[in-house]
Amino acid sequence: MSEAMYEVSLVVNGVPRSATVPARRLLSDFLRHDLELTGTHVGCEHGVCGACTVLVDGRPIRSCLQFAVTVDGAEVTTVEGCTRADGELGHVQQAFRDCHGLQCGFCTPGFVTTITAYLEENPAPTEDEAREAIVGNLCRCTGYQNIVASVLRAAELRAEEVNR
């Protein structure tokens, strides 16, 4: 009783990638185990914790709630793609380092992608808005205070980059 297999092709972090998988392969598993991009983490498998958040055509989605076949042809950005072109930390990543916005680092990739997309919509959030921006992601280590600070710091760094 072999399963039907489908070729799924995505552009991941600017690179065309494809793999042949069954219809039920979750996008999170496809990225992590078929493409071996393990930066995207899975914390709950039911769309609540946000650790698996990736950007599909620029919009944040829970990759544990999507089948890979349903996003065939899409452009996907994972945490690995949130670095600068030279491989150094991108503005959101750098902000987390500056503000001690991570401890164990397991939930962090989902925050980085979420905040990256958020700052595209709202480049200069207030502190309250920064707190709201991350309300779909769970972190068990930090108590969020330094993540809120990271959102504000990332907005600053992003503005510096944009204005440069």
Partner 1 sequence: MTTRSFGEPIARLEDPRLLKGEGRFLDDIGHRALAAAFVRSPHAHARIVDIDVTDAVGVDGLVAVYTHDDLDGRAGEALPVLIPHETLTHGRTGFALAKDEVNHVGEPIVMVVATDRYLAEDACARIRVEYDFLPPVVGIEAARDAGLLVHDDVPGNVSAHMVQSRGDVEAALAAAPNVLDLDLDIERSASTPLEGKGVHARWDADDASLRVYTSTQASTSVRAALAARLELPLDRVEVIAPDVGGGFGVKIVHPWPEEVLVPWAAIRLGREVKWTEDRREHFVGAAHERGQLQHVRVGFDDEGRLLGLDVTVWHDNGAYTPYGIIVPIITTTQLLGPYKPDAYRAEFFSLYTNTVPVTPYRGAGRPQGCFAMERTMDAIAAHLGLDRTVVRERNFIRPDEMPYDQGLIFQDGRPLVYDSGDYPATLEKLKKLVGWEEFAAFRDEARAAGRRVGIGIACYVEGTGVGPYEGGWVKVETDGSVVAATGLTTQGQGHKTAFAQVVASELGVPVDRVAVTTGDTRRFGYAVGTFASRAAVMSGNALAAAARKVRDKALRIAGEALEADPRDLEIVDGVVRVIGSPGGAPGASIPLATVAVLANPLRYAFDREAERATQFGGPVDFSKPPVAEGESPGLEDTGFYSPPRSTFANGMHAAIVETDPETAEITILRYCVVHDCGTLINPRIVEGQIHGGVAQGVGGALYERMVYDGAGQLLNASFMDFLMPYSTEVPVIETDHLETPSPLNPLGIKGAGEAGVIPGSAVLASAISDAEGFAITRMPISPSDLFSLRLARESR
| By CB under 8 A, residue 123 contacts partner 1 | no
* Residue of 29, 33, 36 lying closest to 13 (CA atoms): 36
Q: Residue from 17, 69, 75, 103 that binds partner 1 (CB under 8 A)? A: 103
Task: Answer whether 54's CB lies under 8 Å from 63's CB.
Answer: yes
| By CB under 8 A, residue 32 contacts partner 1 | yes
Tell me the C-alpha to C-alpha distance, in Å, between residue 148 and each of 6, 98, 112, 154.
Answer: 41, 12, 12, 10
Strand partners, 77: 55
Choose the binding region for partner 1 from 36-44, 55-63, 117-125, 154-162 (rule: CB under 8 A). Answer: 36-44
Choose the binding region for partner 1 from 55-63, 102-110, 116-124, 156-164 (rule: CB under 8 A). Answer: 102-110
| Residue 148 or 163 having the CB closest to partner 1 | 148
Task: Answer whether 42's CB lies under 8 Å from 20's CB.
Answer: no
| Residue 61 or 93 having the CB closest to partner 1 | 93
Rule CB under 8 A: which of 44-63 touch partner 1?
Answer: 44-46, 48-49, 51
| Residue 59 or 100 having the CB closest to partner 1 | 100
| By CB under 8 A, residue 40 contacts partner 1 | yes
What is d(CA 83, CA 88) in angstroms, rounded to the nearest whole number? 6
| By CB under 8 A, residue 102 contacts partner 1 | yes
What is d(CA 80, CA 112) in angstroms, rounded to the nearest whole number? 10
Tell me the C-alpha to C-alpha distance, in Å, between residue 11 and each of 71, 86, 118.
Answer: 10, 19, 21
The residues of the shown chain that bind partner 1, judged by CB under 8 A, are 1-3, 22, 24-25, 32-33, 36-46, 48-49, 51, 78-80, 83, 89, 93, 96-98, 100, 102-109, 112, 131-132, 134-148
